[in-house]
Every structure is written in structure tokens, then in C-alpha cells.
């Protein structure tokens, strides 16, 4: 049974104090925000998850138009934390454990199934606002869910081969080949309100760099020495870029380049850049055998989530939960 005691004024005070605490302008005031059987969720626990979430979503609690969205986000986070408390108690009761080796093996399999290097994985996670540590925790929780279900319902999840093949046939567009280009760049930044003299100096710098490259200078070393981009320490390496993800200007410039040849100076909204193609990858439609394990993993996770949600609902129905917001 779940009871909710909603006090809007108190909720707004909590959120505002969370924001002030995050910028160092207030002491944290701790209190109980939910009771879960014989356990509790505290304000500080909720705040630790809420503040970075609001920052990522760019929701300022001081603005009245954000209050409804913030309340919804807060309730969702609190529900997740309640679910975690319930699951943790069951994990403790059933003595379910996941070793570091199991997490490492699952992570390695994910990279292998998706043909990803460690750098590819880190770039993908960064785009999602996650770290490798966050992803490892996510994997650990997935394994725990599977073990919990196996202990509780005594049945392993089996994905029939026909279901995997059916998914492949109905979603072939997901596995179409994509043209990718390995690119390095040297970026010369220009401030937004730069003077004509500053712009001219940036252009002159780019021209000097281009002249040296055309004279045979090593692109990687030149990027490390002259580029203003964070990729400078990696020799300007942007990795493999899909043609569909390129701007029209970049795509046009890259299409004319031979491998190892520097481009002309390109103007961007934030500065100037010089490109170099390191390799081209024209992949074909992936066969069923190529993606079978990836599809199996996707369907397995969906089935796991569905069964876990059903199991968790049953657990909630037997529990005493009181939300005080």
C-alpha cells in the first residue's frame, strides 16, 4: 500500500534548499521524505540525485514555470529510490551478490557484441551524460534483477530463436550499413565578439598551420601544438564519423579529400578548422549472424524489465510505503 501526503509548500521549500545547497549557499536540512516498511528515504538522499538531474535538464527551481516539471521529476526519482530500497531488502534477504568479475565480463560482452572499443564506449556514454562507472553500476543492477527473478519465480528468461529472427526481419533498417570516415582536425578558436584584428590573427595562424601541413608536417603533432580543441592531446582525432552526422560543409570538404590530405581552411560558427581523412569505412547491410547476439540482448532486457516490474508491483502491494512530499 502506498500513501502520499502531498504538501506543495513544503515541496517547494525542499527543492529551493536543494538548489541553494548545490551552489554552497545553504546548509542541508535533512528530513524523511518516504517510509518504506522499516526503512526510510531522506531528503539528503533524494537531493543527491535530484540536483544533478535538474542541472542536466536545465530546470531552475527559482522559476515558477518550472515547478510542475520539477515536481514530476522529483516524484519519478523518489519512486525509483523506493523501488531500490525494496529491491535492496530482497537482495539482502536472499543473499544475492554480483561479483566484479561478472560485471567486467558483461561489459566486455557488450563491447564485443556491438563491435566497440573502450574509446567508442566512453564516447557513447559521454553523449548520454554517463561515466563508465555509472554504466558498470547499471550492468550490476541488471544482473541483480536477473538473479532476483531467478530466485523468486524459479524460471530463467529464454528468448526463442524465432522471436530474434522476427525482430531482425521487421527492423532491417536498423542494421543497414553506414558510411563512416575517420577524421582528424585542427581547430583555431575565435571568440564570439572578436575584433577584426583577432579574427585576422586566427586566420593567419590557420594559414601557417596549413602551409606546414602541405609541406609535409605531421598532422598529429601539429594538432597537439596548435589546436584549441580538447582533442588536441589526442592528435585532433575525432574517431569515425558517420556521413549523416556531418554538417553540409564538413561532408563537402571530406568528400574531396584523399587519405592523409589536409583540407582547405573551413569557417565554423566558433572558429576555423582544418580536416584530414585517416580512413573510410563503407559497411554493408549486417547479416542476421552479425547482429543476432545484439538483438538477443535487447529482447532479453525488455523481457527482464517487464517481469521485474510485475514482480516489483507485487512486492509494493505487500509493503507499507508512505510518501511525504
The DSSP code sequence of 28-44 is ----EEEEETTEEEEHH
Residue 261 neighbours by CB under 8 Å, 6+ apart? 276, 277
The three three-digit cell numbers of residue 228, written as one number: 584549441
Which pLDDT score, from 0 to 100, does residue 138 have? 87
Whole-model pTM?
A: 0.50
- For residues 302-311, give the mean pLDDT: 86
Residue 240 neighbours by CB under 8 Å, 6+ apart? 180, 181, 182, 281
From the list 43, 34, 46, the residue with the least C-alpha distance to 316 is 34
- For residues 224-230, give the mean pLDDT: 88
Which pLDDT score, from 0 to 100, does residue 177 have? 63
| pLDDT tens, residue by residue, 65-124 | 777 888 888 888 899 899 889 988 888 888 888 899 999 988 888 877 666 778 778 877
**Is the pLDDT score of 245 beyond 80?**
no
Which pLDDT score, from 0 to 100, does residue 165 have? 95
CATH 3.10.50.40 fits 179-282, yes or no: yes
Extents of the domains making up the chain: 2-93+318-324, 100-174+289-315, 179-282
**Is the pLDDT score of 6 beyond 60?**
no
Backbone angles phi, psi at 182, to 5 degrees: -80, 125
From the list 91, 121, 86, the residue with the least C-alpha distance to 2 is 86
| pLDDT tens, residue by residue, 7-28 | 444 454 455 555 545 544 344 4
Which pLDDT score, from 0 to 100, does residue 286 have? 78
Amino acid at each position: 500500500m502506498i500513501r502520499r501526503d502531498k504538501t506543495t509548500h513544503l515541496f517547494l521549500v525542499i527543492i529551493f534548499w536543494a538548489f541553494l545547497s548545490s551552489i554552497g549557499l545553504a546548509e542541508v536540512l535533512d528530513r524523511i521524505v518516504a517510509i518504506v516498511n522499516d526503512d526510510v528515504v531522506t531528503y539528503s538522499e533524494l537531493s543527491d540525485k535530484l540536483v544533478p538531474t535538474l542541472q542536466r535538464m536545465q530546470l531552475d527551481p527559482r522559476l515558477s514555470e518550472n515547478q510542475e516539471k520539477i515536481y514530476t521529476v522529483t516524484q519519478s526519482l523518489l519512486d525509483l529510490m523506493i523501488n531500490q530500497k525494496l529491491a535492496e531488502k530482497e537482495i539482502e534477504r536472499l543473499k544475492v551478490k554480483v561479483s566484479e568479475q561478472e560485471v567486467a565480463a558483461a561489459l566486455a560482452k557488450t563491447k564485443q557484441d556491438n563491435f566497440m572499443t573502450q574509446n567508442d564506449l566512453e564516447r557513447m556514454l559521454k553523449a548520454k551524460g554517463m561515466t563508465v562507472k555509472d554504466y558498470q553500476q547499471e550492468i550490476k543492477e541488471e544482473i541483480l534483477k536477473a538473479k532476483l527473478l531467478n530466485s523468486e519465480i524459479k524460471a530463467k528468461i529464454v528468448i526463442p530463436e524465432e522471436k530474434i529472427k522476427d525482430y531482425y526481419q521487421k527492423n532491417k533498417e536498423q542494421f543497414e550499413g553506414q558510411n563512416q570516415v575517420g577524421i582528424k582536425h585542427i581547430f583555431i578558436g575565435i571568440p564570439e565578439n572578436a575584433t577584426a584584428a583577432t579574427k585576422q590573427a586566427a586566420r593567419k595562424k590557420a594559414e601557417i598551420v596549413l602551409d606546414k601541413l602541405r609541406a609535409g608536417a605531421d598532422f598529429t603533432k601539429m594538432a597537439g601544438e596548435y589546436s584549441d580543441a580538447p582533442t588536441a592531446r589526442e592528435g585532433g582525432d575525432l574517431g569515425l564519423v558517420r556521413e549523416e552526422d556531418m554538417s553540409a560543409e564538413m561532408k563537402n570538404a571530406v568528400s574531396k579529400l584523399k587519405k592523409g590530405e589536409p583540407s582547405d581552411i573551413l569557417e565554423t560558427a566558433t572558429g576555423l578548422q582544418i580536416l584530414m581523412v585517416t580512413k573510410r569505412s563503407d559497411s554493408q547491410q549486417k547479416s542476421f549472424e552479425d547482429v543476432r547476439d545484439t538483438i538477443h540482448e535487447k529482447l532479453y532486457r525488455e523481457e527482464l524489465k517487464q517481469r521485474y516490474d510485475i514482480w516489483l508491483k507485487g512486492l509494493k502491494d505487500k509493503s507499507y510505503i508512505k510518501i511525504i512530499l
